[in-house]
């Protein structure tokens, strides 16, 4: 009976909170994630430029399918850039919202 009550309380509040500096290599992991984010942003710039070229080429050559694909690629690249740039803010926002759940 006592164990069941303890497990029930543990399920409601495990007492785990994020803590910086708890594991070795945390700075290395942050650098790796920052580098991956930078690589993604650079790739997005290339995708945006290529999509814009396809859009322009399709428009001027009368290729309606190429024009539509260029438009889609441009919108996707812009959305990807938005998400990559806002990644820290998005994670921080939802992490803060998650701490308020009881």
In a domain, 78, yes or no: yes
When divided into structural domains, the chain yields a total of: 1
In a domain, 12, yes or no: no
pLDDT at residue 41, as a whole number = 95
Contacts of 58 (CB under 8 A, 6+ apart): 64, 65, 66, 67, 68, 69, 70
In a domain, 14, yes or no: no
Categorize the per-residue pLDDT at 42 as very low, low, confident or very high, splitting at 50, 70 and 90. very high
**Between residues 48 and 3, which one has the greater pLDDT?**
48
Categorize the per-residue pLDDT at 25 as very low, low, confident or very high, splitting at 50, 70 and 90. confident
Domain coverage including residue 58 = 26-99
């Amino acid at each position: 009976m006592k164990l069941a009550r303890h497990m029930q309380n543990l399920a409601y509040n495990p007492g785990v909170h994020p803590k910086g500096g708890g594991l070795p290599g945390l700075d290395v992991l942050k650098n790796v994630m920052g580098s991956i984010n930078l690589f993604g942003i650079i790739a997005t710039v290339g995708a945006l430029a290529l999509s814009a070229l396809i859009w322009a080429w399709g428009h001027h050559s009368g290729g309606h399918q190429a024009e539509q694909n260029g438009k889609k690629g441009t919108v996707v690249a812009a959305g990807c850039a938005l998400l990559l740039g806002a990644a820290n803010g998005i994670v921080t926002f939802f992490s803060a919202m998650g701490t308020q759940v009881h």
